[in-house]
């Protein structure tokens, strides 16, 4: 599932505030993103159509149907496939090549790999 940046912004607001009314979401989006009500409602509709958000009455209450972790995994898989031909080694090499990591961060990464 592809989630666009605009949709991710609304998902973040939903996760922080759910269940949340579309009206409240539009006010939050105005305050935090600078969007008008129509833009927010359009993005909410797209998320509903994609099966990411459930709308319930009364009050056009919005709740997530997908977790942030699920989106992160899907987006990471897309990045891996699109730019690195599915090679996790190539992805990690690209990420680590110019990155200065502390000993603590390196130890945490090694521990994650060892747990696999």
Domains, in order of start, for the chain: 5-64 (1.10.10.10), 87-116 (no CATH)
pLDDT in tens, 59-105: 899 999 999 999 999 999 999 999 999 998 898 888 888 778 888 98
pLDDT tens column, 31-44: 999 999 999 999 99
Backbone phi, psi, residue 54, to 5°:
-105, 135
What is the torsional sign of CA 77, 82, 87, 88? negative
Q: Which residues contact 8 (CB under 8 A, 6 or more apart)?
A: 71
73: left (phi over 0), alpha (psi -120 to 50) or beta: alpha
* pLDDT of res. 102: 86
Q: What is the pLDDT of residue 109?
A: 87
pTM, entire model: 0.80
């Amino acid at each position: 599932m592809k989630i666009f940046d605009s949709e991710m912004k609304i998902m973040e607001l939903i996760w922080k505030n759910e269940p949340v009314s579309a009206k409240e979401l539009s006010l939050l989006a105005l305050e935090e993103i600078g969007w008008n009500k129509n833009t927010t409602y359009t993005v909410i509709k797209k998320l509903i159509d994609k099966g990411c958000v459930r709308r319930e009455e009364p009050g056009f209450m919005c709740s997530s149907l997908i977790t942030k972790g699920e989106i992160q995994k899907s987006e990471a898989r897309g990045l891996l496939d699109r730019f690195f031909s599915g090679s996790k080694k190539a992805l990690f090499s690209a990420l680590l090549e110019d990155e200065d990591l502390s000993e603590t961060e390196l130890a945490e990464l090694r521990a994650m790999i060892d747990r696999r």
